[in-house]
Amino acid sequence: MDKKWSGISLVRSLASCIFCKIIKGEIPSFKLIETERVYSFLDIGPLSKGHALIIPKYHAEKLHQVPDEYFADVLPAAKKIALALGSENYNLLQNNGRIAHQEVDHVHFHVIPKPSATDEEGLVVGWPAQKPSMDELKKLHEELVSKL
């Protein structure tokens, strides 16, 4: 893995990763925003007009593997893209793992405009809400707090 990109020593890449190749300019993209730690571009298979991706310039498959400093620019970039799109309704999405619908093994965030209340464009979400008891929630809460 590379330890250096454009003079930035903290960046890590993987030669076979499509997103790393996009960041390096080896694969063309419709770049929107680039900072020292993130790169954003239009999705070529959009769910709606303006669907964009934001990727950390650190190759890692899952969110918990990326150093915290790479996330500092993610939400500001997402906000700028959302404002530029002028979309009143949109989703910010990040998936980890195949069964969670991650298709590219490089952490990435989607900004997906939702122009209408139909399932024809934008993100379509199923939300299988659970109904845990208060005792179950209390036990889970205690377990999580002890690990944080």
Pseudo-torsion of CA 32, 80, 13, 48, nearest 10°? -70
Per the residue annotation, which of 59, 106, 108, 110 is the catalytic one? 108
**Is 108 considered catalytic here?**
yes
Give the C-alpha separation, 95 to 89, whole Å: 20
Question: What DSSP character marks residue 110?
Answer: E
Residues linked to residue 52 through DSSP beta bridges, in sequence order: 42, 111
Distances (CA, A) of 124 to 79, 94, 103, 115, 136: 21, 14, 17, 12, 30
DSSP at 11: -
Catalytically active residues are 108
